[in-house]
Amino acid sequence: MNQLSIEEQRNFILDNINGIIVKWDMSSNKFAVPKLWESMTGYVVSEEINFFGQLKKIICSEDLGKFMNALKESVHKKADYFECEYKIKTKSGKIKWMLHKGKIFDYSKGQTLMINYISDITDKKIYESEIRYLAYYDITTNIPNKLFMTVKLNKFFNDASLKSKRNLVLFYICIYNFEKIKDVYRQDFEEALLKKVSDIFKNNLNNEILCKVEDSKFAIIDYSCGDVEKARLKAEYFLSLFNKMMEIDGEKVFVALNIGISFYTDGVINGDKMMRNSDMALMKAKKLGKNQYEFYEEKMNVEIMDRVKIENDLVKAIVNNEFILYYQPQVDIDKMEIYGLEALIRWNYNGTIKFPSYFIDIVEQNGMINEIGKFVLYEAFVQAKRCNDLGYEKIYMSVNISKKQLEEDSFLDFVDFVLKNTGIKANYICFEITERILIDLSEKMLSVLSKIKDMGIKIFIDDFGTKYSSLNYLKDLPIDGIKIDKSFICNIQNCEKSKMILKSIVNLAGDLNIEVIAEGVETYEQLKFLKSIKCNKMQGYIFSRPVDSEKLIKNLKNSYEIWDNISESYNKEN
């Protein structure tokens, strides 16, 4: 016990100057309570009234026990100091948070004084609550966030009684085509969509916990659904809540979901592992298209590891110049001449030539497509110039262009740079874009296409007829031609409808004064039919497979080999 001194009293009071000081003479059981207490609580406490008795009446019931324990321990055990936080209810009914510090001093023989410092910390608690909310809740949707989910899952894995029930299921859910929606609509619409999806889930869940993970990704923790069939039914129910047009802030948009599902099993040792499993299942579901769900399987780990390895090797491929271009001739069957070439990228991966289907999705998703696209443009332009210099002045070069390239701010400047640097004229170049780009066409990309056209570069729609074909863009957009997808060509022999569609496309293109190229021509019968409907420009194995630069020049010098290939195909079929 400390002997009271004026200096100690002064220091204790000064250290706690922001509150009120209540002195309790423990010998006479009298209290000195400042008038500020009335301003703070609305209650008047006179010298004759026991301050602690009055205080007990206004402390909220859930906090009274801890305060009384702290006070009794200090008084009975003669502890020098105690500190306690509690809530009180003021006379007006307002709830306030208080910080109470008490220190006992001896100030003369047998006489003891307790000095109590009491301060209003309501603002501090509100601030802490707001900080805690920001840490554990998503601001846009007002639902728990990933950190909250992590805490909940870790609590499950640390609780043996919960784990023994083995009923935990984690659903990972994302909005299908969210990136496209973001491109088309304004930013506040994106937030309104997330709120809408969140509200729909909240209105259709029972004891499950809904969390916002990131971007358009949600999670649902379900502690009572350890059965595969139950999880399947729930996933199908979640999907059924969407997969339709919805009106949000006056705009109509089609909203669908993808879902990845994982269970708690012996191999899942913590929350992070379970989240990774659900995420891998979600990635698989997204590949299947809209409104699909997928359960986690162990083999997905192998697929992810393979993908990671390919990604790492792709980075090295750029540095080590492992990418090469092959070229496939485009033939005018009417004039019996090669009039164009399509540049096709290949990857020399550990001595094996890999086709774009092996890696193109990865580079489009991780952003490497722009860097690889620049390589393709430069190499293709150089080859076009080389052909030009060798006397093949009527041959133009086709290059496939991705959506991400068109969206890159520096794309047009780079095209202009490569044209000037290689010396090839723009009218010898053709850019091929897919129908999907036109479906998601923004004002910015339309402007880019128009500027490409102004440069003198031709624009063709590749794989025409494979997506959501619209005749509007054939007349409204700055395009020079279309390439009919090979899926139409390969069915010519057995499908009259394919023949009718092909004939209609060729006639329409002629009326609109745009060029038509048939891709994937492999047989003489296909060639003969295409020629009969006046589709004279073709590309396919019947003429030549894609070849490297050296073989290309040889083929151009000996182009009669192409016609030999046609004759050989004709002889086989007849």
The predicted-structure confidence for 11-65, as pLDDT tens digits, reads as follows 555 455 568 999 888 888 888 898 889 888 999 877 677 899 989 999 999 999 9
Q: So what's the pLDDT on residue 412?
A: 96
Q: Is the dihedral of CA 77, 80, 86, 89 positive or negative?
A: positive
C-beta atoms surrounding 292 within 10 Å: 19
Q: So what's the pLDDT on residue 569?
A: 57
Instruction: Give kind and range of the element (H or E) at residue 59.
Output: none
DSSP string spanning 325-336? EEEEEEEETTTT
Q: Nearest-5° angle of CA 542, CA 546, CA 549?
A: 135
Contact between 211 and 218 (Cβ < 8 Å): yes
Which residue stretches of the chain have pLDDT < 50?
1, 14, 468, 570
Query: Which of 468, 500, 506 minimizes the C-alpha distance to 484?
Result: 506
Contacts of 290 (CB under 8 A, 6+ apart): 176, 177, 243, 256, 257, 258
Q: Which long-range contacts (CB under 8 A, 24 or more apart) does 195-199 make?
A: 195/140, 195/141, 196/246, 196/248, 196/255, 197/242, 197/255, 198/141, 198/142, 198/143
Give 208-252 pLDDT, tens digit per residue. Answer: 999 999 889 999 999 888 788 899 999 999 999 999 999 888 888
Q: So what's the pLDDT on residue 467?
A: 54
Question: What six digits make up the tokens of 113?
Answer: 């004084």
Which of the 8 DSSP states describes residue 355? Answer: P
- β-sheet bridge partners, residue 214: 217
With 0-12 / 13-18 / 19 or more C-beta atoms within 10 angstroms meaning exposed / middle / buried, residue 123 is: exposed
Query: Which of 485, 495, 480 minimizes the C-alpha distance to 465?
Result: 485
Which of the 8 DSSP states describes residue 349? Answer: E
Compute the distance between CA of residue 178 and CA of residue 175 in angstroms, rounded to an integer. 6
Contact between 478 and 453 (Cβ < 8 Å): yes
pTM for the whole structure:
0.59
